[in-house]
Amino acid sequence: MTKSNYKLTDKDFHQINMRSLFGFQLGWNYERMQGSGYLYHILPQLRKIYGDNTPELKSMMKTHTQFFNTSNFFNTIITGIDLALEEKQGIDAQETVAGLKAGLMGPFAAIGDSIFGSLVPTIFGALAASMAAQGNPVGIFIWIAAQIAVNVFRWVQLKFAYKEGISLVTTMQDKLNAITDAATIMGVFMVGALVATMVNVKFAIVPQIGGVSLDIQNNLDMIIPRLLPAAVVGAIYWLLGKKGMTSTRAIFIVLVVCVALSAAGVISKM
């Protein structure tokens, strides 16, 4: 058989979503990244569409273990579009599906990484961390609530994508761009706020100039409070722009410089 008569039910969507939420990346590896995860999360449905022990199923299983890597916050959008095709065309959809997966994984990886991998953790992580610094765990619970909402979004997108098909990608694009832009504004704003509260360092040195002691920190405070933290962040920003600089290296450079300046009595903890 080449055409399948199987129609996906809500039970199938439920099963795919469970496997996606709790198992999609367990097999992540350097060679094919989420390849085996993709096969795993739709395997029961593939078996229903093509039937066990058919050459079609074997061939499709091989297609689905190929290299795949996208944001695990958007992966079921690709799954939904893929399964809608396979359900209609069966094995004839093989090439289309392979192309579709390869074509969509990049864009969704970029959007997903920036919104869910970077911006959401920034905004809620910043909130949770600054509350934690005062000994207050409430921010962690706010973050958990936000992630539950995100997981609801991950859950509903599969059926939505299955129904809308490929046209979904273009309609989503504009909306996602606007949301990303708004979220980056909040992200940038929060970084500004964090620089002002969470980098707790000040000048400790009070040099004597012609018999007059110069309180550097007090003078800086008159310009604007927390100028030194802002300068430190600016300096590290510049450092990170240098060639061959990694975040881990930057962390150790900061460690060494801080110890040196502190030992020399130039800076101290606020």
Footprint of another protein on 20-79 (CB under 8 A): 21-33, 35-37, 39-40, 43, 47, 52-53, 57-58, 61-62, 65, 69, 72-73
Q: Which stretch binds another protein (CB under 8 A): 1-9, 19-27, 79-87, 164-172?
A: 19-27
User: Residue 254 CB: number of other CB atoms within 10 A?
Assistant: 14
Give the shortest CB-83-to-another protein separation in angstroms: 18
* Nearest-approach distance from CB 157 to another protein, in angstroms: 15
Is 165 a residue that touches another protein (CB under 8 A)? no
**Cα–Cα dist 87/48, whole Å:** 10
Q: Under 8 Å CB-to-CB from 237, ≥6 apart: which residues?
A: none
* Residues 213 to 242 in contact with another protein, rule: CB under 8 A: 224-226, 229-230, 232-234, 236-237, 239-241
CB of 94 to another protein, least distance (A): 15
Q: How far is the CB of 212 from another protein (least distance, A)?
A: 26
Closest approach, Cβ 5 to another protein, in A, equals: 21
Secondary structure in 3-state letters for the chain: CCCCCCCCCHHHHHHHHHHHHHHCCCCCECCCECHHHHHHHHHHHHHHHHCCCCHHHHHHHHHHCCCECCCCCCHHHHHHHHHHHHHHHHHHHHHHHHHHHHHHHHHHHHHHHHHHHHHHHHHHHHHHHHHHHCCCCHHHHHHHHHHHHHHHHHHHHHHHHHHHCCHHHHHHHHHHHHHHHHHHHHHHHHHHHHHHHHCCEEECCCCEECCEECCHHHHHHHHCCCHHHHHHHHHHHHHHCCCCCCHHHHHHHHHHHHHHHHHCCCEEEC
* Comparison of 19 and 212: residue with beta carbon closer to another protein: 19
**Is there binding between residue 263 and another protein (CB under 8 A)?**
yes
Phi and psi angles of residue 64, each rounded to the nearest 5 degrees, phi first: -85, -5
Per-residue contact flags (x/-) with another protein for residues 242 to 261, judged by CB under 8 A: ---xxxx-xxx-xx--xxxx
Neighbours of 89 (CB within 10 A): 15
Number of residues that bind another protein (CB under 8 A): 123
Nearest approach in angstroms of CB 70 to another protein is: 10
Which one of 98, 166, 168, 201 is in contact with another protein (CB under 8 A)? 201
Residues numbered 112 to 131 that lie near another protein (CB under 8 A) are 113-114, 116-118, 121-131
Which of positions 128-157 make contact with another protein (CB under 8 A)?
128-137, 139-140, 142-144, 146-148, 150-151
Q: Does 103 bind another protein (CB under 8 A)?
A: no
Q: 153 or 163: whose CB is closer to another protein?
A: 153
- The residue written with tokens 């795993």 in the block is 40
Work out how close the CB of 106 gets to another protein at its nearest, in angstroms, rounded to a whole number: 10
Q: How far is the CB of 145 from another protein (least distance, A)?
A: 9
Contact pick of 102, 156, 193, 214 for another protein (by CB under 8 A): 193
Of 65, 67, 73, whose CA–CA distance to 42 is shortest? 65
